[in-house]
């Protein structure tokens, strides 16, 4: 028998660590999805640069959507900070050992890349801007040379991968939380981000494009915000391509999740206890129900049926993927905080 009592009573630390609520999962979710969108946009841009799909719809529209979602993610992050007035301190230093420091800088650069990428054809979504400030139009045009587009594409892909993996590494660097402390978390969050990105773009493709948008200062700005894909419609087959990609990403994600659990249950007592939290503990219903079943298995099945034309195309699988992607962050952030390095029972 081992009876442990402690007099410590710090809020958010006792009886169990709970320093991160909904904000960090939201931030990680958006971060991962944006990373995925950057990668998707990068790939599309490469094709545009090669002249394969000069009108490629998401090479230019996805970054704008990403840029806007990025603001949401950053807002969530800011809300989490408990010493907000000092947030500038992140950019007074670079801490090579801190994933968060890396992340802060990567985010900053990604912001720039997204902005530049969004600028490429800003006139499509917000004509007023280029009309009023011709310089923006010129900038837009200048960016659209194949070599510059290629550069932008590589930047999107590179920093997208960086950002995607970072959202996992941020957690996995913490030895103190055995549930997180796994090299799988980076790739897992990257692929989850990709699947969410594909789903998000899929939804955007479905809902927004092809409708005439307001053109003016205010109307145009709003339109650019909630109708970012502009009046241009995607090429036929776009949706199928997205769905196929999504199925692939989800498949990889499932394998990575299995590897994560396998890694944990075959390691030490702390890791086994950590895995229990997901497998059979407090977070098991959310893990099995919301992440594995509703977030991965079900959308794979539905999307395969869609591809096989057994059921009509809907956004339902995409919505499930998004919910599942958020659930993955939410469950891992919470369950991870509940996991701890256990003292060896014998001494």
Partner 1 sequence: MPSPSRRRFLKISAATLGAAAAVPMLQQATPFARAASAGPGTVTTIPTYCEMCFWKCGGIASLRDGKLWKFEGNPLDPMSRGRLCPRGTGAPGNHIDPDRLKRPLIRSGERGQEQWKSVTWGEALDYVAERMKKIAAEHGPESIALWKHGTGSRFFEHVMRAYGCVNKAAPSFAQCRGPRDIGNLLTYGTGLGSPEPTDIANTRCLVLIGTHLGENMHNTQVQEFAEAIGKGATIICVDPRYSTAASKAKHWLPIRPGTDLALVLAWLNVLVKEGLYDKDFVAKHGHGFDKFAAAIAENTPEWAEKETGIAAGVIRETAREMARHRPATLVHPGRRVNWNGDDAQRARAIALLNALLGNWGRQGGIFLAAGMKIAGYPFPKYPEPGKPKVDNPDGRWPFADEEVTTGLREATITGKPYPIKGWVVYAANLIQTLPNEKETIEAIKKLDLLVVVETHPSEIAGWADVVLPDTTFLERHDDFYVGWGRQGWAAMRQPVVAPPDEQKPAWWMAKELANRLGVGAYMPFKDMEEYLAVRCEKSGIDYAKFKREGIVMGPKKPITIEEGAEIAFDTPSKKVEFFSDQLAKAGFDPVPKYTPPEAPPAGFYPLVTGRSPVHTFSRTQTNPLLADLVGENEVWINAATAAKAGLKSGQYVRLKNEDGVVSNRVKVKATQRIRPDTLYMVYGFGHTAKGLRRALNKGASAAQLNTRYKVDPLMGGTSIHRNFVTFEKEA
Partner 2 sequence: MARFGMVIDTAKCVGCMDCVVACQTENDVPHGHCRDWIVTEVRGTYPTLEMEIRSERCNHCDNPPCVYCCPTGASHVEPFGKTVQVTANRCIGCKACLAACPYGARFVHPEGYADKCTFCLHRVKEGKDPACVSVCPTRCMHFGDLDDPKSEVNRLLGSRKWHTLLPEAGTKPRIFYLD
Contacting residues toward partner 1, per CB under 8 A: 1, 3, 7, 9, 85-86, 88-89, 92
273 φ/ψ angles, rounded to the nearest 5 degrees? -60, -40
The dihedral sign for the CA sequence 269, 274, 277, 278: negative
Does the footprint of partner 2 cover residue 309 (CB under 8 A)? no
Name which of 200, 196, 112 is nearest 158 in CA terms. 112
d(CA 190, CA 107): 15
d(CA 206, CA 181): 38
Name which of 183, 182, 113 is nearest 143 in CA terms. 113
d(CA 27, CA 135): 34
Does the footprint of partner 2 cover residue 1 (CB under 8 A)? yes
In the list 54, 219, 268, 289, the residue contacting partner 2 (rule: CB under 8 A) is: 268
Does the footprint of partner 2 cover residue 90 (CB under 8 A)? yes
Does the footprint of partner 2 cover residue 111 (CB under 8 A)? no
In the list 74, 101, 298, 311, the residue contacting partner 2 (rule: CB under 8 A) is: 101
d(CA 65, CA 54): 20
In the list 55, 86, 207, 240, the residue contacting partner 2 (rule: CB under 8 A) is: 86
d(CA 33, CA 199): 9
The item of partner 2, partner 1, none sharing an interface with residue 4, based on CB under 5 to 8 Å by kind, is: partner 2
94 φ/ψ angles, rounded to the nearest 5 degrees? -125, 120
Does the footprint of partner 2 cover residue 14 (CB under 8 A)? yes
The item of partner 1, partner 2, none sharing an interface with residue 32, based on CB under 5 to 8 Å by kind, is: none
In the list 218, 308, 309, 344, the residue contacting partner 2 (rule: CB under 8 A) is: 344
Does the footprint of partner 2 cover residue 173 (CB under 8 A)? yes
The site for partner 2 (CB under 8 A) is made up of 1-14, 17, 19-20, 80-84, 86-87, 89-90, 92-93, 95, 97-101, 103-104, 170, 173-177, 268, 270, 337, 340-341, 343-344, 347
């Amino acid at each position: 028998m081992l009876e442990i009592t402690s007099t410590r009573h710090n809020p958010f630390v006792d009886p169990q660590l709970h320093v991160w609520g909904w904000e960090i999962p939201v931030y990680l979710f958006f971060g991962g999805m944006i990373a995925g969108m950057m990668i998707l946009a990068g790939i599309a841009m490469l094709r545009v640069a090669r002249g394969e799909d000069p009108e490629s719809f998401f090479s230019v529209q996805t970054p704008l959507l990403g840029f806007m979602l990025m603001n949401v993610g950053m807002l969530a992050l800011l809300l989490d900070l408990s010493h907000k007035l000092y947030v500038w301190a992140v950019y007074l230093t670079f801490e090579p050992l801190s994933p968060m420091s890396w992340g802060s800088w990567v985010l900053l650069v990604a912001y720039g890349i997204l902005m530049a990428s969004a600028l490429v054809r800003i006139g499509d979504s917000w004509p007023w801007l280029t009309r009023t400030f011709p310089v923006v139009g010129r900038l837009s045009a200048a960016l659209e040379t194949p070599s510059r587009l290629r550069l932008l594409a590589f930047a999107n892909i590179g920093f997208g991968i960086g950002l995607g993996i970072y959202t996992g590494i941020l957690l996995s660097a913490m030895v103190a939380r055995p549930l997180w402390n796994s090299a799988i978390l980076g790739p897992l969050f990257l692929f989850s981000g990709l699947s969410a990105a594909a789903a998000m773009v899929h939804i955007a493709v479905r809902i927004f494009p092809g409708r005439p948008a307001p053109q003016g200062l205010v109307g145009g700005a709003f339109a650019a915000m909630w109708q970012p894909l502009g009046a241009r419609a995607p090429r036929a087959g776009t949706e199928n391509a997205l769905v196929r990609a999504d199925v692939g990403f989800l498949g990889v994600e499932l394998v990575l999740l299995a590897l994560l659990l396998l890694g944990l249950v075959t390691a030490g007592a702390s890791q086994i206890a950590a895995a229990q939290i997901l497998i059979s503990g407090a977070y098991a219903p959310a893990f099995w129900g919301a992440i594995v079943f509703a977030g991965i298995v079900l959308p794979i099945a539905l999307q395969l049926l869609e591809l096989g034309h057994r059921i009509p195309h809907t956004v339902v699988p995409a919505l499930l993927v998004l919910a599942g992607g958020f659930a993955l962050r939410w469950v891992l952030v919470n369950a991870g905080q509940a996991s701890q390095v256990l003292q060896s029972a014998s001494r």
